[in-house]
Amino acid sequence: MSCIFPLVIFSSLFLTDQFQAYIAIPRYDLMLLICIATQILMVVGRFESMDELKVICVFHIIGLLLELFKVNMGSWSYPEEAYTKILGVPLYSGFMYASVASYLCQAWRRLHVEIIAWPNVLLTTLLGAAIYLNFFTHHYIFDIRWWLVGILFLLFFRTYVMFKVRGNTYQMPIILAYFLIGFFVWIAENIATFFKAWHYPYQKEAWSLVDLGKLSSWFLLVIVSFLIVAHLKMLKGKEQA
């Protein structure tokens, strides 16, 4: 249930790829319309609250900015034409990042997530900002991702996430949770590139498995996502209290 939005995107990528010859408008434009309609239905159908929609919109902007930069640096590309493309980036791409935020918000609520021993908010905010900025700056200066991973372990080695499934309560080290979400996003990325949502330079001639090195990128990006959701959920909890 928490993966409704990602599943809609994957299903749409598959169907628009298989029946592209019968689509009257460019495929990426249709994907944007599907994503907008899905987002509206999620809110109208009360699968997502207005507060969660605000979080998802933040992720849409964060993801779109990253896409604009990375595509123009040649990290990956969107091969098909579309009317809703800006600097080579189709606008629907922001929804792929937003779908990760949707999953986190949904899972937080459905699994009754609680965080044990959360580190200092200022330090986690600075870490999240540094991780996000490194996606841009490593093209110009050296890549500090492994330094950031080291800081991550120092900050979160005592932190656990508690969640409920069918009335049973479980707990997991939060660093393991980050890695597992990042791993499944990497699997999702393989599915998306297979259906030509975008491709990396080494996938132009024929599809191949996404480089395992991308696991570290998704691991770090998931942390940025989780930190934003966690801070907003904690703030909301204090307001309600």
Give tens-digit pLDDT for 91-136. Answer: 999 888 888 888 988 899 899 999 999 999 899 999 999 999 999 9
pLDDT of residue 241: 54
- The two three-digit tokens of residue 192, written as one number: 């998306």
Is the CA virtual torsion 193, 197, 202, 204 positive or negative?
positive
Angle, alpha carbons 46-49-55 (nearest 5°): 140
Contact between 186 and 180 under an 8 Å Cβ cutoff? The reply is no
Interatomic CA distance for residues 100 and 185, integer angstroms: 8
pLDDT of residue 215: 87
Which of these, 202, 211, 205, 117, lies nearest to 156 by C-alpha position? 117
Interatomic CA distance for residues 196 and 17, integer angstroms: 8
* Backbone angles phi and psi of 170, in degrees to 5: -125, 165
Give tens-digit pLDDT for 53-63. Answer: 888 888 888 88
Interatomic CA distance for residues 41 and 34, integer angstroms: 10
- For the entire predicted model, the pTM comes to 0.85
What percent of the chain has pLDDT above 70? 98
Out of 32-36, 153-157, 201-205, least confident range:
201-205
pLDDT band at 238 (very low <50, low <70, confident <90, very high): low
